[in-house]
Amino acid sequence: MKLSLQYLAGFTDGEGCVTIGYNKTTKSYFPVVTIANTNELIMGIIAKQFGGRYYVRAKFKNRKPVCIWYLSPKESVYKFLKKIHPYSIVKRDQIETVLSLEHIKYSLKKKLKQDIHTLNKTGRV
């Protein structure tokens, strides 16, 4: 089974996180995409279609186990985001911010990380 880019953009809008990470050791910024859902079948299909890996987080009391898919290296993240960008609605600003990370100097990356943090705050309408 192959998932459409439209479906995956909607799935990422609803269940995903698009952000910028920071490695303290190398002092570098990098794109991050994760999707969390309780359906392991879907996580497996996404991993097979786009790469990356997923793991199952332990079950909490009265809850299903959650599967978390994450994508790396950064080249794969950029490729994935470029494919779903035209179809994204909710995460469009985050995707555009992360994609701009690809071609900018280090000094601006810190500001982008702050911008993406603001966009990702819980409760943003």
The reported pTM is 0.84
Using CA atoms, how far residue 84 sits from 18, 24, 74, in Å, is: 12, 29, 16
> Which tens digit of pLDDT belongs to each residue from 87-123?
999 999 999 999 988 887 766 777 888 888 888 886 5
- Residue 123 has what pLDDT? 57
- Residue 52 has what pLDDT? 94
Better pLDDT: 28 or 44: 44
CATH number for the domain formed by residue range(s) 5-118: 3.10.28.10
Q: Give the helix/strand (H/E) hosting 80.
A: helix 74-84
Segment 32-58 mean pLDDT: 94
116 burial type by CB count under 10 A (0-12 exposed, 13-18 middle, 19+ buried): buried
